Structures are given as structure tokens and as C-alpha cells.
Structure 1
Amino acid sequence: MTEVDTRYFADWAGHTLYHTSGEKIGRVEELWTDDDQGRPTWLTVRSLFGGRDSLVPVLGVRPRDDGDLETAYSKDLIKDAPHVEPNPTAEGRHIDESEEERLYRHYQVPPQMARQEETTGRDVSGPTTDDAMTRSEERLRVGTEQRERGRARLRKYVVTETEQVEVPVSREEVRLEREPITDANRHQAMDGPVISEEEHEVVLREERPVVDTEAVPVERVRLAKEQVQDTETVAGEVRKERIESDGTERGPRG
């Protein structure tokens, strides 16, 4: 496998490679082609981890709308890829087949699958092009993720209110009672001087309301979570390929 200098992938060099999640991986430096087919199979990425160049399979690399590139291989997988130092040859720099096999094993890509991707369906003049064209399109993949919506807590505080309660109370009052002199009370009536001045005192009592408070438990309160099912509408842009035919129209038959 040797370094490639072809216009087919020439605009890839200098662009940034991202993971499909949007994480930035590094800048594309060089493209490498297979010795047998002459198709690009690897690209060199100047990564963000220590400035070391890493080889990434061209298989699965797709252009983004902004002109940069994206791959399904994660940043950590690319970071841990075997480091390959190209060997100088008469035609330029070259990566040995054994080292290429190590890279294929690391990325878990069968070499025959990579070579098939490199040689099939790229143009209309290749040796493996058939009489059919594959039309592809993007489809939305919708799922859900858990995220923190908010937090709820219980807080207890004290308020002072005024309550009115009717309390029954009683009091003593005096009234005059007169009773005639009879044989039963005559001896009490005749006890003492016949004519005199006297005072009698009676103690009167009454009830007054007394207010006091006591703390009593009235209820227990706790927080409980429940699942509420809802439906939301999401939208996204997808790209679709269209196929048109260019041919010669027949003239009218006379």
C-alpha cells in the first residue's frame, strides 16, 4: 500500500474528521491506496492526542454537509490503533501488508470487505461496475435518553394564625331571697339583738378562659415519583439519492 495522489479524494486532505456523534478527532493529512486496485483504503489523521498521526479506514468515512468528514470509529479506538511508520521505497512511502493486517484486526474490518468497498460502485468505468446503480437514503433513527428534568424537595416552615374558639364560662351572681318566719326558722330569726345594724358579705366566683397551645402530629407528607407518558414530535433533515436517466428520445414514426 502506497501514498495516493489522486483527485478522487484530493479534497479530503486538510479537512477535519469527526465521529458520528460530533466529537472532533483530528485533521486529515494523507490518503493511502491499495497496491493492487489503486483505490484509497486508509487516511492519515493528525490527531488531537499528542500530535501523533493515526491511520483510519476509508471504509465508512462519509462527507458532512459542511465539507468535513465523519466516521463511525470512536476517538478512543483511533487513539489506540497500532502505530505504523511507513517505509521509504522507490515509488515513495509504503506500508507493509503485515502492518496493514494489524490495522484491519484492530478496527475489526475484514480485508476483503474493505477491498470490496474500495472497488465497487465508485464510478462507471471500473472493472467491477455492473448494470445497476444503488440508490441510498438517510432515515431518522429516533430514540429517547434520560436527562434531569428538575428537582423537588420538601421544606417545612412555621406560620402563625389566629383561631377563635367559643369557650363556655360560668359566674356567680347574687339575688335576694325572702322567706317568711315559721316555726322551723323562728329560733334562727330570734337569735341576736332585736334591733341592730349588720353586714353580710358573700364571695362571688367566675370562670375565665385560659389559652394554651400544644403540638400534636396531624399528618405525614412524602415525595413520590410517577411515570407520565407523553408524545413529542421530532424532526430532522435526511438526504436521499435520486436517479435520473439520460438517453436519446425516439422520433415520431411516419
Structure 2
Amino acid sequence: MGFPKRAEDIIGLTAHDRSGDKVGKIGQVYYDDQTEQPKWVTVNTGLFGMNESFVPLQGARADGDTVVLGQEKSVIKDAPNVGHDQHLSEAEEMELYRYYGLKAEQGQGERAVGTERRAEPVRTGRGNGEATMTRSEERLNVGTRNEEVGKVRLRKHVVTEEQQVSVPVRREELRVERTPITGAERGAAGKHADFTEAEQEVTLHQERPVVGKEAVPVEKVRVGTETVTENETVRGEVRKEQVEVDGADERRRR
């Protein structure tokens, strides 16, 4: 199949499944031995990318700095764990074809180009006395995810308390006033006054406190959230390759 990017261009890019979910980093690209076209890629999956799954490039496309694969993330993570020795045998490729439900193509296996995981020695074979080897190492890819840690519920209840309020009240009191009768008043009453008994009633009033209650709103209580950023340290084991030279004596090193 064709692909719009060279192998060395997509190695290390982030791979997403066809639904847009992030799967992992592209580790290796496997080319068809006969057509020289890229057919498979490996994607680092699992915790810290320690696992490597083979995914077909059929239906894949490049999208900026990402590669959108034609399979779902759950299918990719459970792919058969075939060898990662820079070459896919025909039997391994057939196993992958069966797992992904793809039609197998006739071929002699696939070879890997580029890797972030393994080193492949490259020898010149032309007698010039030089050899090169690519050394690789793993790196931690750390991200974050949101998860629920707790809930806060607003609830109100009624409590009873006693209050004392001073209220001014008024009352009527009896007051007796005696005033002398003037001459004019005496003449109007006549020369001789009759002795009689008399009685009059006076009604007294007073105010008494009357207690009533009413519910009135006094305040609003609102609960909100704010984001606080803090640093946490994570640890993980990573592997790296070391290059050693065997069988070279001191004179040849010079």
C-alpha cells in the first residue's frame, strides 16, 4: 500500500486510532520485501509504552504530527505479540492478517526500517574498515488524566434558638386631680348642695407584646471549584542500549 510519508518521517509520531483516541508512539516501520512499500508499524502501548503492537498501515493516514490508524485502540493493544527482530516472517505476517481480518498478500515477509527500540547493525561490506551501529534508549512519556476524587453536597437543616427582644409597651394609670370650685361654678350649682352618693367607672388600658414570626431570606451560599496546580514526581524503569567492541587489540585500535 502507499503512504504519504517516508518511514523515517513517521517514526516517533503519536498514533491515534480511527476514533481519535491516542494509542502510543510509532516505534518501527516494516516494508514489504518485494514492493518496498510500508505495510506495518509498531506502536508502543501499555504502561510507559513498554509493549509494542503491530498495526497494519492499510487505511492509515498522516495528519500533521500524528498518524491516524485504521483500527480501534482496544484491537491494537490485544494484537499478537510476534517477534521484533527487524524482520517479519511469512508465518508471523499471516498471523497478523488473520487477527485483523485482512486479506493476506503474497510475499516473503517484511523488514523493519528505523526503530526507537532496537539497534540494527549496519555494515558497509566494502572493505573500508568502518562499521556503524545505532544506539537507542527508552524515555518516559508522562501525561495526566482527570479522575473523580470526591463530591461535595450542599444541604441545609433547621435549628431552633432563643432570642430576646426589648419592646416598649404603654399603659394607662389612674391619676386623681382635685381643683377648687370657683364662685361662678358654685352659683351654678345652687345655694345648697345635696349630699348624694355617686359612682363612675374609668377603664384603664395597657399594651401587651404580641409575638409573630416570618421567614425572610438573609444570604446565599454558593460552592464552586478552582484549579490548583502542584508538582508530583513519577518514577519508572527505562532501558538503554550500550555499545561494546569485542575482539579488537590495542594495536588495531591505534
What's the TM-score, normalizing by structure 1? Answer: 0.48
Which structure has more RCO (C-alpha within 8 Å, separation ≥ 6)?
Answer: 2
What's the TM-score, normalizing by structure 2? Answer: 0.48
